[in-house]
Structure 1
Amino acid sequence: MRKVIIPTDFSENALNAIKYAVELLKYERGEFHIVHAYAEKVYENEEVVSRAILDEVRKVEHEQSKEKLGNIKSELQHISPNPNHNYFYTATFGILVDVVNDLVEDINADLVIMGTRGLTNDRQITFGSNTMQIMKYVRCPVLSIPEGHSYTAPKWVVFPTDFMLPYKRRELKLLYTMVASYRSLITLLYFSENQQLSFRQQDNKKFIEEAFKNVELEYVTQPSDDITAGINHYLQNQSVDLLVMVNSRHSYLENILFQSTIDKIGLQIQKPFLVMQNLNRD
């Protein structure tokens, strides 16, 4: 049983991510937790000038959220009446990243799926603030779906790596199950001036090969000091179906994500983006 959390702000991007999720797992037994957290909206309401008004706005927002979740339920019953899928709908007064992280722990979630941007949909940035926070801090793989992107089978996956991390078996298994049925190609993209791998890198490379023993692997080494620019250049005009990176200390992705402000994030991704966290989880 695959356990998936799908945050929603009721935007078109969020609904698109839900549709992508049910299509991605249409051949698997799935438990989908569709979650809306509305504390920020209540706190930012300019009419809230007293505790009594806050409580009233909170109550109204909760009822409206339940109604909108009901609309999503009706739409899913129409577009994806899959007997292997169970859906759970939650509206809660909380901060989204905390709500999602707590739910990950409570249900031992396998995956979070969400749109790259939400209701504000600022096209000047690649990732919205909620998506960035969840990719950085939630202890679970996160799959972000670009605006308007329809599901396509992940037949070509690009996985930038420096082979320095001893990856966690559970997260590699998640990726394996996503690609195993499609005769997919995984391109392991390594940025270095030096073709020679250290013993640590050789061992980690071997571990990856064992995890994907029935999947075609391709190794591409490119000279580049700017990892972000290198990834963007490689993806340009390529028919890649999925980009995969690992968020861990001293990883490629840590250097990209942990910038001072969101607008400095240079990845120009118009493909589904899977962020694995490389954490010990049962």
Structure 2
Amino acid sequence: MKKILLPTDFSDNAFNAIEYALQLFEKEECTFYLLNVYTPIVYDTEYIGYSSINPGLDEIYKNNSAVGLQKLEKKIKQTFSNKLHHFKQISSFNLLTDEINEQVENEHIDLIIMGTQGATGAKEVLFGSTTIRVIHRAKIPVLAIPSDYVFKGIQEILFPTDYEIDYNTSQLRWLNYLSTKENSALHVIHASEKDFLSSEQKKKKAQLEEKLESKNHKFKIVEGNNIPKLIYEYEKKNAIDLLAMVNNKHSFFENLFFKQVIDEIGFHTKVPFLVIPSQS
């Protein structure tokens, strides 16, 4: 049985991600953990001082969280009645990233699925700061669902790589699962200004191909150095349903997410984004 963590702030975007998860695993027995953290947005000395003389404030946050989760589960069961799906509610006074890592460890969570912007996120920003923090700190794969994205199956998967990673089986678990689930086409692309691979890259490519379970995959070199733009253009041209990448902090992923250009891919990527942690 798969264990899927679904963080929610009760926004429409969060529920859209939940809908995606329920449809993705429609035919599989799963336990979905509905997580809401009720840490005040501004948790500082002012809040601490105010709450100390108004002890009921904590209870209000706690009650709102618990009631919200109850309503959410009821809505889910009314909209998606599925005997294979089980739910657990988690309400916690904690920072989201800390609570996620605690639940991952304590409950042996397999995958995190969440929306890319919260209730207060600007519509033009695809990846909000909360999603980015979770992606940076999560110890298991995170599947981020863009706002208003409607699930329509996964027929085309895009997997960019620099062939600098010694991929292991556990890293490729979800990529293999999703690509074989519906016999999806797996596009493995490498961005380069020159149309060739070094001997070491060729070795890593061969190792990767051995570990891919999909029989419907192809390798391609895309010329250029603006990786976010190349990904965006490839997505549109090939009707990609899912973008998957490995968070290799020492190489490829670092060039995308650990610099000021992080918003480039945030603005351009309009499909669900599976981020796989590095080996470390």
TM above 0.5, yes or no, is yes
Q: 1:45 to 1:57 in 2, by over 3 A?
A: farther
Partner of residue 159, structure 1: 159
- How does 1:103-122 map onto structure 2 within 5 Å? 103-122=103-122
List structure 1 runs of 4+ shifted beyond 6 angstroms.
Answer: 44-48
* Residues 227-265 of structure 1 deviation map (CA, whole Å, 9 limit, x = unaligned): 122222322354110011111123322211112586566
Instruction: Give the Cα separation in 1 of the matches to 2:75 and 2:45.
Output: 29
Partner of residue 240, structure 2: 240
- How does 1:31-50 map onto structure 2 within 5 Å? 31-41=31-41, 43=43, 49-50=49-50
Partner of residue 134, structure 1: 134
The letter for the 1-side match of 2:140 is C
Number of positions where the alignment pairs a residue of Structure 1 with one of Structure 2? 280
Q: 1:221 to 1:174 in 2, by over 3 A?
A: same
Q: 1:251 to 1:262 in 2, by over 3 A?
A: closer
Which secondary structure does the structure 1 equivalent of 2:139 belong to?
coil
Q: 1:27 to 1:207 in 2, by over 3 A?
A: farther
TM-score normalised per structure 2: 0.91
Is the 1:159–1:186 contact (alpha carbons within 8 Å) kept by the matching residues of 2?
Answer: yes
Instruction: Give the Cα separation in 1 of the matches to 2:9 and 2:44.
Output: 15
Instruction: Give the Cα separation in 1 of the matches to 2:120 and 2:215.
Output: 39
Deviates more, 1:34-43 or 1:144-153: 34-43
* Residues 156-191 of structure 1 deviation map (CA, whole Å, 9 limit, x = unaligned): 001110111112312312221122131211111101
Partner of residue 102, structure 2: 102
TM-score normalised per structure 1: 0.91
Which secondary structure does the structure 1 equivalent of 2:268 belong to?
coil
The answer for unaligned runs of 5 or more in structure 1 is none
Is the 2:31–2:86 contact (alpha carbons within 8 Å) kept by the matching residues of 1?
Answer: yes
Instruction: Give the Cα separation in 1 of the matches to 2:227 and 2:119.
Output: 30
Is the 1:2–1:29 contact (alpha carbons within 8 Å) kept by the matching residues of 2?
Answer: yes
The letter for the 2-side match of 1:61 is Y
- How does 1:82-231 map onto structure 2 within 5 Å? 82-231=82-231
Partner of residue 25, structure 1: 25
Q: How far off its partner does 1:85 sit?
A: 1.7
Instruction: Give the Cα separation in 1 of the matches to 2:23 and 2:45.
Output: 36
Q: How far off its partner does 1:43 sit?
A: 2.3
- How does 1:74-85 map onto structure 2 within 5 Å? 74-85=74-85
Deviates more, 1:181-190 or 1:75-84: 75-84
Which secondary structure does the structure 2 equivalent of 1:225 belong to?
coil
- How does 1:256-275 map onto structure 2 within 5 Å? 256-260=256-260, 263=263, 267-275=267-275
Deviates more, 1:48-57 or 1:132-141: 48-57
Q: How far off its partner does 1:90 sit?
A: 0.7
Is the 2:38–2:91 contact (alpha carbons within 8 Å) kept by the matching residues of 1?
Answer: yes
Instruction: Give the Cα separation in 1 of the matches to 2:263 and 2:40.
Output: 21
Is the 2:8–2:15 contact (alpha carbons within 8 Å) kept by the matching residues of 1?
Answer: yes
Q: 1:45 to 1:112 in 2, by over 3 A?
A: farther
The answer for unaligned runs of 5 or more in structure 2 is none
Is the 1:33–1:88 contact (alpha carbons within 8 Å) kept by the matching residues of 2?
Answer: yes
Identity of aligned residues (%): 31
Which secondary structure does the structure 1 equivalent of 2:69 belong to?
helix
Is the 1:167–1:278 contact (alpha carbons within 8 Å) kept by the matching residues of 2?
Answer: no
Instruction: Give the Cα separation in 2 of the matches to 1:71 and 1:220.
Output: 47
Q: 1:43 to 1:222 in 2, by over 3 A?
A: same
Instruction: Give the Cα separation in 2 of the matches to 1:46 and 1:236.
Output: 48
Is the 2:228–2:264 contact (alpha carbons within 8 Å) kept by the matching residues of 1?
Answer: no
Q: How far off its partner does 1:12 sit?
A: 0.2
